[in-house]
Structure 1
Amino acid sequence: MKRGVFGIMTAVLVALTLLMGSGVAAAKEIKAGFIYVSPVGDAGWSKAHDDGRKAIDALDGVETTFVESVSEGPDSERVLTQMARRGHNLIFATSFGFMDSVLKVAAQHPDVVFMHCSGYKQAENVGTYFGRMYQPRYLAGMVAGAMTESNILGYVAAFPIPEVIRGINAFTLGAQAVNPDVQVRVVWSSTWYDPALEKEAANSLLDVGADVIAMHQDSPGPQVAAEERGVYSVGYNTDMSAFAPKAHLTAPIWNWAEIYKHVIQQVQDGTWTSESIWWGLDRGLVDLAPFGPMVPQEVQDQVLAKKEEIRSGATDVFVGPVLDQQGEVRIAEGVQATDEEMLSMDWFVRGVVGSTR
């Protein structure tokens, strides 16, 4: 009789365990939405994010959707609202200009977790994330500085916001580290994704003597211009060597899957809290694309040695003395810029030709 009672109790416990297990699994199901400012076929920013989305879409208990080519402003608010209403419990907004829309929609949907890329405003259900892209930009600058013959590097830039200014400065410091005579000329395109306009901007820099073109754009337009003119280029976001195989030296690139897996795990575990994520080379979020065959081995070795120094924390990019365009000391000798100083950077280093406005 005892054995019979024991068997019944065991069966009940097993059934309860299965029911509880089923409940836990259901609670951890993630429906993640992504909104992109440009098409996923841009070969750049949105493609890099979408590669990260695909990585988490393959995880158990995760379903993802995305909307591409979403304009910053009211249109992004509409898309975010639709995602929240259609059952997404996690939403990634992947452009700086989505920031205010994210905050507004998040306040109306407190049960949804929102993650905003490159922003600085947070709420109880809104976190931010970005990467220390200035680190591989410095390394790319080293390559460009070593490869130029005219000592003029061209930089096609999107908008004069701290993220972009910081990248231009890091690129310039890297170039100056191997070539003190180099200058970086900047042209603002006021676009994130406009291949024709960005190619035209690159050509304007080539017309004034630049023989290496760098960029903060989503399209390979500047790379194509460099290829057509027989000079070198440095990409951004992804390895764009296929678009300019004879020009492409390297590129600072993203691996967004590292952050997306991290956030998914936290939401599934119920441990997510609002935070500001800013990872670098040490976490694998940012990196340097493979070198083009035209980059000499000694240059590659020098750049990779510096990469390891930065990755290990032995050094970093914005360590003084760093002077601005007017020759004023902005970062004192031996002092490392704080995160706050880097995140609010609105000035150019000495050697940059152009305005921050």
Structure 2
Amino acid sequence: MLWKIDRRRFLQGAAATTALVTASGIRAAQAAEPLKVGFVYVGPIGDYGWTHGHDLGRKAVEKKFGDKVKTTYVESVAEGPDAERVIRQLAQQGHGLIFTTSFGYMEQTLRVAKQFPKVMFEHATGYKTAPNMSAYNSRFYEGRAILGHIGGKLTKTGKIGYVASVPIPEVVMGINATAIAARRVRPDAEVRVVWVNSWFDPAKESDAAKALIDQGVDIMTQHTDSPAPLQVAEARGILGFGQASDMKQYAPKAQLSAILDIWAPHYIARVQAVLDGTWKTQSTWEGFKEGALVMAPWGDAVPAELRKEADAMVADTISGKFHAFTGPIKNQKGEVVVKAGERMSDGDLLKMDWYVEGVKA
């Protein structure tokens, strides 16, 4: 069962003013002390994927602000009751700004934010906000379209594997973006999905990758956080893509590229806002244009002409000429859900709970 979510909600007016005043008060009271900034991670910092990318952002904050800040992180925090305990504990310990870096932390962050109105919270990939809680996200689907295009061009079997984490709109969106792009260059392409129901579980990820290869997959993609699927691809002699960070060191022959999550600019900007007393609630969704994600260097198996095509897709995404979810788009039943030339709205993307044609899940 796929999770359904409403469109993200934006708080304006009095809520934003309240947060601004609160942020100013915090800095005035803490002027003599470094700002304590907390980070809550769903995986270990050594996953070389999602959490690794966020921790690079944390380190960038330390480098930028020096003794003006003191950062803390808690890794491998399960989504659920334990997350609320960890977030509350950071607030109780005097952290003035807390980043919670997984979709499944949304409700827990919101509850703690209501209990600690003088603490600023930033939640990654969710859609709920409050006077002292912002939401931030990355348009990962833009990169998934690039992977789909490359995979569609290079697959010999027409079968692209997708090791998927948990069925939330963000992940479904990525699967669909991959399939749409692949089928535009190879109409019979399939994206075969195996769910592991975890963000980080190398053993399950490895088993999923092996099962996909046994089904005839010769291009591997993933929305899980360890390099295990790519390592399996390397061992079995097929090609694939890294996730969230550059994983080439684990699969130097197999990796075609990877979507790199660049969180440092957001983290630095939001810490600066708290230090300046200008922080206010917001909801952002950034992509290639804003530098929130970039593509890792092309692997040796990506031909020169295909590199040019991929680079052009990135440039066209930045300029607005290309959008990954431009019609015609059909669902699994073959029904047209997006007409030719039309683009899906952000609201529809953010509640995506259905698959496009060519997805086998």
For residues 230-309 of structure 1, the aligned pairs below 5 Å read 230-309=237-316
For residues 25-40 of structure 1, the aligned pairs below 5 Å read 26=31, 29-40=34-45
* 1:113 aligned residue: 120
* 1:46 aligned residue: 51
Cα distance, 1:62 vs structure 2 = 2.1
Cα distance, 1:41 vs structure 2 = 0.3
Q: 1:163 aligns with which of 167, 170, 191?
A: 170
Instruction: Name the SS of the counterpart of 2:244 in structure 1.
Output: coil
**CA, structure 1 residues 241+348, in 2 after alignment: closer, same or farther (shift >3 Å)?**
same
**CA, structure 1 residues 92+336, in 2 after alignment: closer, same or farther (shift >3 Å)?**
same
| Equivalent residues of 1:91, 1:113 under 8 A apart | yes
AA partner of residue 38 (structure 2): G
Deviations 1:168-208 (A, max 9, x none): 11111221232222111111111111101100001000001
Instruction: Name the SS of the counterpart of 2:37 in structure 1.
Output: strand
Query: Separation in 2 of the partners of 1:28 and 1:180?
Result: 60
**CA, structure 1 residues 162+23, in 2 after alignment: closer, same or farther (shift >3 Å)?**
closer
For residues 183-202 of structure 1, the aligned pairs below 5 Å read 183-202=190-209
Deviations 1:245-304 (A, max 9, x none): 111111112001121112112222222211111001000001111110111000000110
Query: Separation in 2 of the partners of 1:344 and 1:253?
Result: 24
Query: Separation in 2 of the partners of 1:352 and 1:84?
Result: 43
Instruction: Name the SS of the counterpart of 2:137 in structure 1.
Output: strand
Q: 1:180 aligns with which of 183, 187, 190?
A: 187
Cα distance, 1:29 vs structure 2 = 4.2
Cα distance, 1:23 vs structure 2 = 6.6
Larger Rg, first or second structure (1 or 2): 1
| Equivalent residues of 1:28, 1:268 under 8 A apart | no
Query: Separation in 1 of the partners of 2:316 and 2:251?
Result: 30
In the superposition, the TM-score normalised over structure 2's length comes to 0.90
Cα distance, 1:80 vs structure 2 = 0.8
AA partner of residue 30 (structure 1): L
| Equivalent residues of 1:235, 1:250 under 8 A apart | yes
Query: Separation in 1 of the partners of 2:131 and 2:29?
Result: 24
| Equivalent residues of 1:52, 1:260 under 8 A apart | yes
- For structure 2, the 5+ residue unaligned runs are 1-26
Cα distance, 1:59 vs structure 2 = 2.1
Query: Separation in 1 of the partners of 2:185 and 2:276?
Result: 47
Q: Which stretches of structure 1, 4 residues or more, deviate above 4 A after TM superposition?
A: 22-25
**CA, structure 1 residues 305+28, in 2 after alignment: closer, same or farther (shift >3 Å)?**
farther
Identify which of structures 1 and 2 has the higher relative contact order when contacts are C-alpha pairs closer than 8 Å and 6+ apart. 2
The yes-or-no answer on 1:97 pairing with 2:104 is: yes
Query: Separation in 2 of the partners of 1:252 and 1:192?
Result: 16
AA partner of residue 154 (structure 2): M
Instruction: Name the SS of the counterpart of 1:186 in structure 2.
Output: strand
Cα distance, 1:342 vs structure 2 = 0.4
* 2:17 aligned residue: none
**CA, structure 1 residues 27+130, in 2 after alignment: closer, same or farther (shift >3 Å)?**
farther
AA partner of residue 58 (structure 1): K
> Identity of counterpart residues, as a percentage?
46
Which piece of structure 1 moves more, 256-265 or 215-224?
Answer: 256-265
| Equivalent residues of 1:226, 1:247 under 8 A apart | yes
Instruction: Name the SS of the counterpart of 1:185 in structure 2.
Output: strand
* 1:19 aligned residue: none
Instruction: Name the SS of the counterpart of 1:184 in structure 2.
Output: strand
* 2:15 aligned residue: none
Deviations 1:221-254 (A, max 9, x none): 1111111100011111001111111111111120
Query: Separation in 1 of the partners of 2:349 and 2:274?
Result: 29
* 2:93 aligned residue: 86
AA partner of residue 31 (structure 2): A
Query: Separation in 1 of the partners of 2:157 and 2:240?
Result: 14
Query: Separation in 2 of the partners of 1:29 and 1:278?
Result: 29
Query: Separation in 2 of the partners of 1:248 and 1:55?
Result: 26
Deviations 1:64-119 (A, max 9, x none): 11010111111111111111111100000001111111111111100000001111
The yes-or-no answer on 1:332 pairing with 2:342 is: no
Query: Separation in 1 of the partners of 2:253 and 2:341?
Result: 39
Tell me the number of residue pairs that the alignment of Structure 1 and Structure 2 aligns.
333
| Equivalent residues of 1:28, 1:269 under 8 A apart | no
Query: Separation in 2 of the partners of 1:315 and 1:185?
Result: 25
AA partner of residue 231 (structure 2): V
Instruction: Name the SS of the counterpart of 1:251 in structure 2.
Output: strand
Query: Separation in 2 of the partners of 1:120 and 1:245?
Result: 37
